[in-house]
Amino acid sequence: MIGDCAILKDERRAFKNSITATKSMIFQIINNTIKKYQLDPTDNLYIDAMNIIIKKGKLTFENLNSILSSNITTKDKEKLIDNKATNMLKDICKILNIDNYNDMNNKEDELNELIYIFAIYKDFMHCEEKFAQHLAKYSYTDNQKDEILNLCFNKISGTSNLSLKALKGIEPYF
């Protein structure tokens, strides 16, 4: 059973691999890094960072330095953000030919719904049939459907403490 959102009690928790939960996690890490190193964010910081993650599945301190024209020096030079969720984001965007943040944002609800439906049916018999029925309402190719199904089987797990609605509600404050 999916638990209740920590903020909005009538809402169910979002799955950790949902696009909205992944964006929230990314924005939190960037905000914490900006505070820690006392950096000035640029207007397009989040969009530029998300574009890198969509292409590479990770964000390094070197990438952040480039975006902010800063010179962060740290022992953790290699990876700032690199985990299952960001790699899944990259993979699903690649499957659906999404190569930038704005296009991903336009499909955010659709992608969240796919992840939610898959996670609900994942442990039941006939999961592939149920998921295939759901995928049929979108104009994906058969190859895209197969790749999405394989990706979901391998990468979806757990829930966030917040619902999609709560995560979207706090996003403008990042």
Of the given ranges (84-93, 115-124, 142-151), which has the lowest mean pLDDT?
Answer: 115-124
Residues 6 or more apart whose Cβ sits within 8 Å of residue 14: 20, 21, 112, 116, 159, 160, 162, 163, 164, 167
Domain boundaries of the chain, sorted by first residue: 19-169
Rounded to whole angstroms, the Cα distance separating 113 from 40 reads 35
Question: Average pLDDT over the chain, rounded to whole?
Answer: 85
pLDDT number for residue 104: 95
For residue range 81-92, list pLDDT tens digits in order: 888 889 989 999
For residue range 56-112, list pLDDT tens digits in order: 999 988 898 899 888 877 766 567 888 888 998 999 999 999 999 999 999 999 999
pTM: 0.81
Tokens linked to 16: 């950790």
Torsion sign over Cα 149, 144, 93, 55 = positive
Compute the average pLDDT of residues 1-28.
Answer: 87
pLDDT number for residue 77: 55
DSSP 24: H
